[in-house]
Structure 1
């Protein structure tokens, strides 16, 4: 990483001991610091993340996906971040996509960069995405890989207050007039961990998405 601005990666993690070390090591070339928020895991997630080179925070008790990222953003700000990006702990994201994610911010053409995953979606995601695409031009709001200028976070004051599955900051930022960009990313099939703790792709998970959608209707 040769850019002069301080880039901090925030990774929420729950029982991802089998993948988190590889994820952190993959991000080292692209971030000044990596903050892993261990959301009260029962395995060795925190230990593996720390061994790989991350700053590790531990929630006790757990705070869920948005609560974990809230804590990560606070730490990123404390570390002096100019740019903050979020990344999943389960190995589905490809670290090689990070330069493309950050490029619009470096070029001065965007303050918020959203990623778009390939493939089909479950019905809860599809409904959520239909709404955000029509209202905010966000085709894949639930992708966990996003990047923000620090100024976006400073203007809003928090990452999430609604349990919106990682969408509130970007939506509030768009409504405040911050510029956005969209980049396609690759997605690897996950092979380990407990991603369902945050984002279950079943009836319960779909209902969680619909509840989150109801909350963002009033932003």
Structure 2
């Protein structure tokens, strides 16, 4: 395995240094995709890039959404011949203590997608909790299984080649719908998804770029598209379910 980290970022100038410095002990390249951030964030990224040789900045000309940033980072990872990329958010919500477990499971199952199964604290907004339950319901239908325990957490190890093939084949959602759609479609392609329980922190006063109206609308449209995509894949999905019990 030839590993790296990927971090999508949009206006998280106050937390990105903490996130990067927590990853440095692993001595792996850190690819940060700047999704058209403000000047404060660009300055913070410039300082990190100057200070640490492991940091590789990919700059998007304008804000395209989380999916656009992750896709850009994965393309850079592929161009640099990395086989696996661990995606982690820039806002310090993810528990970096679990990183060794992610890499260990990825090494054991290099063809699979390794994802966090989130354990949330009491500060998780109620609206986000309800939205996750609705998405879990639809993902179970779209995959005709309960194999995907969570599809919304952006803390995961991607097999880079398979992920780039999918990104090149299908126009995936570019905002918060990306994490869900790429996982479902990789599952459709026969890639197993494995989960690691991991703590997720919602810091008081933290900044979220999830738009209650826009992102929920995009996620609803995505589920409609995936539902109809499931219908013609139903025989294959049922065969897989029967074969693997």
Normalised by the length of structure 1, the TM-score is 0.85
Of 110-119 and 16-25, deviating more is: 110-119
CA 1:29–1:211 in structure 2 vs 1: closer, same or farther (change >3 Å)?
farther
Match of 2:182 in 1: 169
Match of 1:65 in 2: 66
Q: C-alpha displacement at 1:147, in angstroms?
A: 0.8
Asked if 1:206 corresponds to 2:216, the answer is yes
Choose which of 37, 41, 45 in structure 2 pairs with 1:45.
Answer: 41
After TM superposition, the structure 1 = structure 2 runs for residues 108-123 of structure 1, keeping only pairs within 5 Å, are 108=109, 111-119=112-120, 121-123=128-130
RMSD: 2.4
Secondary structure of residue in 1 paired with 2:6: strand
Q: Which has the higher helix share?
A: 2
Match of 2:243 in 1: none
Q: C-alpha displacement at 1:74, in angstroms?
A: 0.6
Asked if 1:36 corresponds to 2:32, the answer is yes
Task: Describe the superposition over 1:152-185 as per-residue Cα deviations: whole angstroms up to 9, x where unpaired.
Answer: 2254254972313322332222222223211111
Q: C-alpha displacement at 1:66, in angstroms?
A: 0.7
CA 1:192–1:40 in structure 2 vs 1: closer, same or farther (change >3 Å)?
farther
Match of 2:163 in 1: 153
Distance 1:107 1:162 in 2: 28
CA contact (8 A) 2:33 2:59 kept: yes
Match of 1:140 in 2: 150
After TM superposition, the structure 1 = structure 2 runs for residues 74-93 of structure 1, keeping only pairs within 5 Å, are 74-93=75-94
Q: C-alpha displacement at 1:50, in angstroms?
A: 4.2
Which consecutive residues of structure 2, in runs of 5 or more, have no partner in the other structure?
Answer: 230-245
CA 1:79–1:50 in structure 2 vs 1: closer, same or farther (change >3 Å)?
farther
Distance 1:192 1:21 in 2: 18
Which consecutive residues of structure 1, in runs of 5 or more, have no partner in the other structure?
Answer: none
Distance 2:133 2:3 in 1: 31
Normalised by the length of structure 2, the TM-score is 0.76
Q: C-alpha displacement at 1:6, in angstroms?
A: 2.0
Aligned length: 212
